[in-house]
Structure formats: structure tokens, C-alpha cells
């Protein structure tokens, strides 16, 4: 297979169940970079067996970790994936059909965004704001840049072209994983609100969860995904409730960090999450 001058970069933490699928979905890349934050499983050895250069560095937060992984790559064209993601065969063929060489018309493109399709509770989720959930994951690092804070990191570029193939996202292992991840992200979201000077509001605590459920289940047609769609919408609403409840707890404690509602016990940049994953856009917009 012809190799393209693209570096596949992945940040990981305990991803032995996902890393092989992720790497194998992009066999056309010339380089694989894995930035691990201290996995206690076989993530590193699996990645190395598949040809990856594996680096181990302490967790610095989602934004800084992905920026660092991009810096470690040898090629300027970056394919940045999370370990629980994989290119669909259609998307892989579409990327292979592009010309990543000097003199091609890609000189006028800074990056490519692709629709992300998430699998959860036994089915592909196509409603509730989870799809198309477009992600800019293939980009030229000199003409695009990572942006973000504690929760919402993303790549920003001016000249972006859209691809049609799906990026597969195996977002949660099960409901317990969804609850754990929502708990983690609600804590990060509360810290983000506090860092931006936002104050607790009882009105928002009462109304935001309801508006999130109505938005995802009715306005964004989550009901069309059956019972999984209902469960997802309830989970998104509860995560919203937790975010504002944790903000209240932080203010009540007066130390900036709560614990009784499951908030982080250390600043987000110092403590690695349960896994380095990104949520579907509507789920992350808390």
C-alpha cells in the first residue's frame, strides 16, 4: 500500500481495548505517534507492535496533551484520532484519494473535517445532536492550530474542506462508562465555569437540565434512536445538573474544588482522566 506523508497521532490512557482498531483503520500513514499518560495496561506494547513511536509524559489536560502529540510528529500533515475512534473504510479510501505531495492543489487547504458517527448501547446514534458531529481531524499543523481549555479542545483552521466518509466513534463501553465519563466532564465543566468567573445560579441549576433534555430528545430528534436515544438525553440532562451542582459545591467550600458530588480532587491539568476520550458535540456542550 502506498504510504502518504501523514502522521497519525493519538493520546492514550489505558486503551488496550481500542488502540489496535484505531491504528489499523489508517494503514496508509507514514508514521504513528502515541502519547501516553501512564497506562497501566498493554496500550503501549500493542501500539509499538503496530509500528507506533510511543512517548510517555504526564497528563497536562486535553488541549495541551493533543498539542504536544502534534509537536512530536515528523510530518506536517496530521491525522489526530482518539483511541476510541477509527476511520470507516469509506473515509480511509477518501483520504487515500487526496494528493498529499508538493505541487498538489492541497496547498490551498488547511484541513479536512469529517462527520463522526458514534456507536452506543448497541446501535449507531444518528440523532439527538450526535450526528454529523463534524470534526476537523486531518490538518496541516503549520496552517491550523489546537485551541481550547479544560473541556472543549478543537482544531481551528481557515481553509477547510469537508470529507464525506464517517469517522467511527466507539464512545462508551457501557452505561457505567457513560456515567463515569459524564461525571468527569461535569467536574471539568464546573471548573471551567469558575475559571471564567461564572457564579452559581439556582435558576440555571433548575432550568438547564430540562432545556438540555428537550433540546436533545425533541428538537434534535433523539427519540428516533429509540430507548438508547432516551437514555442518552437523560444522561446529558443529568450531566448538566451535575455541572451546576458542582459549581455550587465549589463556591460553598470556598476552595475552588468540590468532592462530595464527584468533582475532580486535583486540578484537571495535573490529574489524568479515566481515559483520553472526546464526547459527541451535544453531549459535551454542557
The alpha carbon of 197 is separated from its chain's Cα centroid by a whole number of angstroms, namely 25
Residues 111, 103: Cα–Cα separation, whole Å: 17
* Proportion of the chain in helix, strand, coil states, percent, rounded to 5: 40, 20, 40
- Domains, the chain, ranges and CATH? 4-169 (3.90.550.10), 175-284 (no CATH)
- For residue 251, what pLDDT is reported? 95
Is the CA virtual torsion 99, 164, 73, 2 positive or negative? negative
CB atoms under 10 Å from CB of 242, counted, come to 23
What pLDDT is attached to residue 99? 77
- The pLDDT of residue 285 is 62
Measuring CA to CA, which residue among 243, 253, 236 is closest to residue 191? 243
Distance in angstroms (rounded) separating the CA atoms of residues 132 and 3: 28
- Look at residue 279 in the predicted model and tell me its pLDDT: 72
* Angle ∠(109,115,121) on CA atoms, nearest 5: 155
Query: What integer pLDDT is reported at residue 257 of this predicted model?
Result: 52
Digitized pLDDT (tens) for each residue of the chain, 286 residues in all: 889 999 999 999 999 999 999 999 999 999 999 999 999 999 999 999 999 999 999 999 899 999 999 999 999 999 999 999 999 999 999 999 987 765 566 778 999 999 999 999 999 999 999 999 999 999 999 999 999 876 678 999 999 999 999 999 999 999 999 999 999 999 999 999 999 999 999 999 999 999 999 999 999 999 999 999 999 999 999 999 999 999 999 999 985 554 444 444 334 444 566 566 667 866 656 5
Amino acid at each position: 500500500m502506498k504510504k502518504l506523508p501523514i502522521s497519525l497521532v493519538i493520546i492514550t490512557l489505558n486503551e488496550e481495548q481500542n488502540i489496535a482498531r484505531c491504528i489499523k483503520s489508517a494503514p496508509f500513514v507514514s508514521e504513528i505517534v502515541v502519547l501516553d499518560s501512564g497506562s497501566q495496561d498493554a496500550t503501549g506494547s500493542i501500539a509499538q507492535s503496530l509500528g507506533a513511536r510511543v512517548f510517555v509524559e504526564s497528563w497536562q489536560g486535553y488541549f495541551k496533551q493533543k498539542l504536544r502529540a502534534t509537536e512530536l510528529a515528523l510530518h506536517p500533515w496530521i491525522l489526530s484520532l482518539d483511541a476510541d475512534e477509527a476511520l470507516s473504510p469509506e473515509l480511509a479510501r477518501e483520504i487515500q484519494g487526496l494528493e498529499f505531495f508538493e505541487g498538489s492543489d492541497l496547498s490551498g487547504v488547511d484541513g479536512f473535517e469529517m462527520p463522526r458517527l458514534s456507536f452506543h448501547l448497541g446501535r449507531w446514534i444518528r440523532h439527538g445532536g450526535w450526528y454529523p458531529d463534524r470534526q476537523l481531524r486531518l490538518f496541516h499543523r503549520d496552517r491550523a492550530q489546537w485551541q481550547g481549555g479544560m473541556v472543549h479542545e478543537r482544531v481551528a483552521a481557515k481553509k477547510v474542506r469537508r470529507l464525506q466518509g464517517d469517522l467511527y466513534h466507539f464512545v462508551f463501553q457501557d452505561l457505567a462508562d457513560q456515567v463515569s465519563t459524564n461525571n468527569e466532564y461535569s467536574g471539568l465543566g464546573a471548573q471551567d465555569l469558575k475559571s471564567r468567573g461564572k457564579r452559581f445560579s439556582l435558576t440555571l441549576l433548575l432550568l438547564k437540565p430540562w432545556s438540555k433534555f428537550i433540546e436533545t430528545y425533541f428538537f434534535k430528534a433523539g427519540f428516533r434512536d429509540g430507548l438508547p436515544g432516551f437514555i442518552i438525553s437523560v444522561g446529558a440532562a443529568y450531566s448538566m445538573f451535575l455541572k451546576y451542582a458542582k459549581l455550587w459545591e465549589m463556591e460553598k467550600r470556598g476552595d475552588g474544588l468540590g468532592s462530595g458530588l464527584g468533582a475532580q480532587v486535583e486540578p484537571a491539568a495535573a490529574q489524568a482522566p479515566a481515559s483520553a476520550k472526546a464526547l459527541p458535540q451535544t453531549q459535551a456542550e454542557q
